[in-house]
Structure 1
Amino acid sequence: MNDFNYPKLHNATWPGIVGKGPDSEPVISFDTMLEKTAAAEFEGIKFDGVDIGLFDPHIDLDMSDDGIKRLADKIAGLNLKIGTLVAPIWSGSAMGTKESRLVFIDAVRKSTEFGQKLRELGVRSNAVVRIDSASNLDEWAKDPVNNSKSIVQTFKEACDVAADFDESLAAEGEICWGGMHSWKAMIETLEAVDRPNMGFQADMAHTLLYLLGYNSPEDRILPDDFNWDDRSALDEGLKKLTKELRPWTIDFHIAQNDGTVFGSGSHDKTGRHCLADDPKGKLDIVNDAAYWLRDENGNLTKAFKHICWDGCMFPNEVMEEQKTWNNILEKMVKVRRAHGWNE
């Protein structure tokens, strides 16, 4: 049995917020998410850290330096590190008005500065901040060419801001965001941005929908008559998808998907996150993680030093049960045993 020490295993805190709220279930507190993460255990192994969304009500992006120090001390006190951060860019839009784009870029500036301070305090283990276009797909589709140009320009400016704080930006591969809604659109955006600190965040649940051409049938990879029982076709589809996107990937989420879309609260429909042991899950998580963690020759890329579980839009009764997080950690450990390394 190989108990490697890399990649580090992280849990996400933002599922306590995403898909929650007045039009759904109550938000799960930041402290509760931390407690469930810190308490999780499988064969004596614990989570190494958390990835954090920098948005209310969990985190005040404008908190003082003393507040950031208290946050760092709280998480370090649970024997956890902080990894990737999520910038709260949704008050603006990467393809919106000049004012809206400035709001977007300012959120990136604050988030990357916040991240630098956490690194200086010794509690943060990487320098990646996640973004999306904060642009509704239907609005983007009204003028794809010009809207894509606006997204690219905003991302360029955001990258330049992030570089001032030695941070990189990871564009989230999720089908609900305009200009990022298909694998081809995502690559076109990344290539056009052309910044050394711009990369891709792959989430196994979301990228599975890229294969099926949801929101972009012309970019479908799997055949129209694809049957989920055809594992060889799924393997070939994953090979093609990851060959294109893996070189851009700087952040990676372990997740499960049942081949459907789902949204809750104010969140648009996107790839459904399923529990690690969901019998309806279409992915072989441990096997399929290899397509992102290893190159075409089977060699580990070691392109990122931690992997994160993302389980947005699970019911509160599921998220508040410790067994849920123990099962998730078990799957994460098995991924690392199959595709890990020592440093």
Structure 2
Amino acid sequence: MNNFPKLHNATWPGIVGKGDDSQPVIPFDKMLEMTAAAEVDGVKFDGVDIGLLDPHVDIESSDDDIKRLADKIGKHGLVVGSLVAPIWGGPVLGSDDDRKVFIDMVRKACNFGKVLREVGIRPYGIIRVDSASSPETWAKDPAKNTKIIADTFREACDVAAEFDEKIAAEGEICWGGMHGWKTMVETLEMVDRPNMGFQADMSHTLLYTMGYNSPEERILPKDYDWQDRDVLTAALKKMSDALRPWTIDFHVAQNDGTVHGTGSHDKTGRHCLATDPNGKLNVAEDAGFWLRDENGNLTKKFKHICWDGCMFDNDVMENQQTWNDILATLIQVREKHGWSE
């Protein structure tokens, strides 16, 4: 059996899309319990990726607080991988003060990562960011705004380098400057830092091929027939060939070809359950676009993969079978595109 990449669950789906105008937040402890309890034929999750977001985690935590968090996670037999920096209070395309907040949140997230590494619970992973700004804001002056994003990301990379961390920009259609696949590449090329990369999420990158917030970058025909697998395969290959060289973090996910948003979260690629019959992706097969190069060889550029499924109803997320099904899908991905060490 392959033992790499390691299999992780995300904790932030307990927060994203939840809140006063939606459903209650699912506590961090509950997310850990359900992750640790999942099991398929003796295989369990290896770890969690964590959103450093209230009310799950206080970004202002002291080093001792972070160590206590590590102890809590470790007691479940889990390690920590990638961390989400809570940068949305500091939109990159906002004011100078907003950008200072953005950088400060990156610095605090990197310290989280450093402490977790030092106590031995975080063997791999990146710090995840986005522009925290809308495509509409970006579109007011694309050239100027892409430069602002790149300059800010470079500053974030310099901060991350002080902590020996890497930064990954999430490719998602709701973030300006990364709302299209070509636009995302242009932003990354302008940043041009060795510790800057791309976080691919299968749900979001499918929307890239449809040009949802960037029609000029659409690859799939407007009248595309989802039964024509060859056309979809060609589109996914074209898009992933451009972004794979930058990819340093990867989310396994399913999507039904539509967008969705709940609570305060803008509409973005709809995360479907692993077993959703309306899912447009062959998850295990299509993960290969990110885990293998253009010649079909394993890239081994990251040591773990993570399931990301946001904005599901709480009754779904609090059903243990949901997490068993998700784990089973991750196992399929590893069996098809994994390796042994």
TM-score (normalizing by structure 1): 0.98
Which residue of structure 2 lines up, in the alignment, with residue 115 of structure 1?
113
Aligned with 1:157: secondary structure?
Answer: helix
Which residue of structure 2 lines up, in the alignment, with residue 202 of structure 1?
200
Letter in 2 for 1:157: E
2:27 to 26, 29, 34: 29
Letter in 2 for 1:19: G
Distance 1:286 1:103 in 2: 39
**Unmatched 5+ stretches in structure 1:** none
Residue pairs, 1:162-177, within 5 angstroms:
162-177=160-175
Distance 1:60 1:225 in 2: 46
Which residue of structure 1 lines up, in the alignment, with residue 189 of structure 2?
191
**Unmatched 5+ stretches in structure 2:** none
1:300 to 298, 306, 315: 298
Tell me the matched-pair count.
341
How far off its partner does 1:224 sit? 2.3
Which residue of structure 1 lines up, in the alignment, with residue 142 of structure 2?
144
Distance 2:63 2:216 in 1: 48
Question: Is the 8 Å Cα contact of residues 95 and 148 (structure 1) preserved in structure 2?
Answer: no
Aligned with 2:251: secondary structure?
Answer: strand
Question: Is the 8 Å Cα contact of residues 95 and 154 (structure 1) preserved in structure 2?
Answer: no
Which residue of structure 2 lines up, in the alignment, with residue 130 of structure 1?
128
Letter in 2 for 1:294: R
Question: Is the 8 Å Cα contact of residues 93 and 137 (structure 2) preserved in structure 1?
Answer: no
Cα displacement string for residues 224-277 of structure 1 (whole angstroms, at most 9, x for unaligned residues): 221101100001011111110100000000000000000000000000000000
Cα displacement string for residues 60-103 of structure 1 (whole angstroms, at most 9, x for unaligned residues): 11112221111111111111000000000001011211101000
Question: Is the 8 Å Cα contact of residues 7 and 306 (structure 2) preserved in structure 1?
Answer: yes
Which residue of structure 1 lines up, in the alignment, with residue 47 of structure 2?
49
1:334 to 309, 332, 335: 332
Question: Is the 8 Å Cα contact of residues 17 and 264 (structure 2) preserved in structure 1?
Answer: yes
Distance 2:41 2:333 in 1: 14
- Following superposition, which runs of at least 4 residues in structure 1 exceed 6 angstroms of deviation? none
Distance 2:63 2:143 in 1: 42
1:219 to 211, 217, 220: 217
Residue pairs, 1:35-74, within 5 angstroms:
35-74=33-72
1:262 aligns with 2:260: yes
Question: Is the 8 Å Cα contact of residues 93 and 104 (structure 1) preserved in structure 2?
Answer: yes
Which residue of structure 2 lines up, in the alignment, with residue 16 of structure 1?
14
Question: Is the 8 Å Cα contact of residues 94 and 154 (structure 1) preserved in structure 2?
Answer: yes
1:252 to 238, 250, 253: 250
Which residue of structure 2 lines up, in the alignment, with residue 76 of structure 1?
74
Worse-matched range after superposition: 130-139 or 189-198: 130-139
Question: Is the 8 Å Cα contact of residues 38 and 324 (structure 2) preserved in structure 1?
Answer: yes
- Are the structure 2 counterparts of residues 118 and 316 from structure 1 closer, same or farther at C-alpha, using a change threshold of 3 Å? same
Cα displacement string for residues 184-227 of structure 1 (whole angstroms, at most 9, x for unaligned residues): 11000000000000000000000000000001110001122211
Amino-acid identity (%): 69
